Amino acid sequence: MVSRSLLLLSFLQSALAAPQSGTFNVVTLNVAGLPAILNGNDIPGDKTANTASIGQKFATYGFSLIHVQEDFNYHATLYANDNHPYRTATSGGVPFGSGLNTLSNFDWIDFERTKWATCSDASGSDCLTPKGFTFMRVKVSEGVWVDAYNLHADAGTEAADNTARAANLRQVSDHITQYSAGNAVLVFGDTNSRYTRADDIPAIFTQQNGMTDAWVQLAKGGVAPAKGADALLCNNPSTTTSCEIVDKVWYRGSPAVNLSATRFQYAGNMFLQADGNVLSDHDPVLVDFSWTLGNTLRVSDYVGGPHGDYYNDLPTLSGISSPSVSSITLRGENRVDAVSITLSSGQTFTHGGTGGTANTLKLNAGEKLVQATICQAKYNNSTRVFYMQILTSSGRSVTTGKMTSDCYAFAAESGWGIVGFVGRSADEVDRVAMVYGKA
């Protein structure tokens, strides 16, 4: 086993060398994977062969993060022809699966599938499968985490379809409000929505979640088409981005990471059969992004498991100029039961339960929390945070819990300090990451 001192040195060096900026891209594509006997999608060629070609093109282009919809009965063929290192396990073919999957160059945590609370069969068979949305927290780079949502909303234009589709988008928006507060977010998939339809509500992510539609921003000069206007129909593949399709990409940054969409394109010409025909009845959407770390707040990577409720000190910290810590309390015994930080402003953040013994360290003027060592292990078949030690700029420390063989060390950059936490907790601390603030 590698000594803890060597592991500490390795992680401290890694933290100091973390990239400050970078780029990535995302693709959303409805792969038309319903069985041919149910829906031929009006696409020439054999569905198995077309799906194989889509997988091969995913591998060839090496897109960073791909969301697919209608990935049902040809899923094995899609994955057999792709080489992305991280891919979601299928939830099944028709009628058992949602058809939603992700292929990625980035790892993730906290993956979840959620079924729509409302569906409609008025114009088709939207209730045939458990359509809905997926959620995952994607690690783009060291300390760069983005909540990514993949969705496939109700189709059709009957009154019941319109009601269901609007309910679908509200359901995702509500999930963002509850679980992604303070985080960078990407929402992309098959919305079956148009800005020009009177009953559709694609603007909800802008209005309620502070997100930007990459198409509206980069192709429409920041002005979305008006409700009730004539539909801006596209060919497939489209030779222009001025028209509107139902596959969309929204994004926002966070206090810890700035996100910017730099290029938007309909990528159908990159997904053609050998004879020039398209591979799907949906034109893929490809968006390029750039990112930079926050100027005053940043986050570390996570330690622990996917249990308990989400907590995040970033939203509150973003409203405090140059936050400084007056005390820190770690509560625990065999594991970490709770973490608590009090700022010089009097604001206190507490996460976890009331078990164990509380160990409190009061900081002196100018003293910062600069390093953390955190260990995880299994308890009752759940990964928990077993040990935490926080070190100050004066060499003092506060500790709780018991060390394990699976430990991680983090260090704030010069001029920065630990001022809060992000993670999951219940009666104990299940997952934790540090929030760094710049003095």
Q: What is the pLDDT of residues 56-98, one digit of tens each?
A: 999 999 999 999 999 999 999 999 999 999 999 999 999 999 9
Quick one: tokens of 172? 């995702």
Contact partners, residue 347, CB within 8 Å, separation at least 6: 316, 320, 323
Kindly report, as residue ranges, where domains of CATH 3.60.10.10 are found in the chain. Answer: 21-293
pTM: 0.94
Beta strands 21-30 and 65-69, pairing class: parallel
Cite the beta strand spans of 324-368 per DSSP E. Answer: 325-332, 336-343, 348-352, 357-362
Give the pLDDT of residue 16: 52
Bridge-based pairing state of the strands 247-252 and 212-213: antiparallel
Q: Extract the tokens encoding 428.
A: 């104990």
What percent of the chain shows pLDDT beyond 70? Answer: 95
d(CA 118, CA 167): 7
334/401 Cα distance (integer angstroms): 5
Task: Report whether pLDDT(208) > 60.
Answer: yes
Give the distance, in angstroms, between the CA of residue 309 and the centroid of all CA atoms in the same chain.
Answer: 16
Q: What is the mean pLDDT of residues 313-340?
A: 96
Would the pLDDT of 2 be above 50? no
Residue 394 has pLDDT above 70, yes or no: yes
Residue 255 and residue 314 in contact, taking contact as beta carbons nearer than 8 Å: yes
pLDDT at 15 over 50: no
What's the CA gap between 398 and 337, in Å, rounded?
A: 14
Residue matched to tokens 């394990």: 404
Task: Indicate whether 44 pLDDT > 90.
Answer: no
Select the more confidently predicted residue: 404 or 3: 404
Write down the mean pLDDT value for the chain.
Answer: 94
Where in the chain are all domains bearing CATH 2.100.10.30? Answer: 297-438
Q: Which two tokens stand for residue 383?
A: 């990964």
Mean pLDDT value across residues 391-417:
97
Q: What is the pLDDT of residues 127-177, one digit of tens each?
A: 999 999 999 999 999 999 999 999 999 999 999 999 999 999 999 999 999
User: Is pLDDT at 10 greater than 90 in this prediction?
Assistant: no
43: confidence class by pLDDT, cuts 50, 70, 90: confident
- Whole-number pLDDT of residue 293: 97
Distance between CA atoms of residues 32 and 366, nearest Å? 60
Q: What's residue 135's pLDDT?
A: 98
Please report the pLDDT score of residue 9 as a whole number: 47
Q: How far apart are CA 66 and CA 51, in angstroms?
A: 15
Mean pLDDT of 291-316: 97
pLDDT per position as a tens digit, 167-205: 999 999 999 999 999 999 999 999 999 999 999 999 999
DSSP string, 155-177: ---SHHHHHHHHHHHHHHHHHHH
At a CB cut-off of 8 Å and minimum separation 6, what does 55 contact?
A: 77, 78, 79, 80, 81, 82
Spatial CA neighbour of 124 closest among 177, 83, 70: 70
Place of tokens 């003095």: 439
pLDDT tier at 40 (50, 70, 90 boundaries)?
low
Q: For residues 180 and 175, give the distance between their C-alpha atoms in angstroms, rounded to a whole number.
A: 7
Which candidate, 290, 289, 296, places its Cα nearest to that of 256?
296
d(CA 42, CA 245): 17
DSSP 313: S
CATH architecture of 297-438: Aligned Prism (2.100)
State the architecture of 21-293 in CATH terms: 4-Layer Sandwich (3.60)
Average pLDDT score over residue span 281-288: 97
Report the first-to-last Cα separation within the chain, whole angstroms. 37
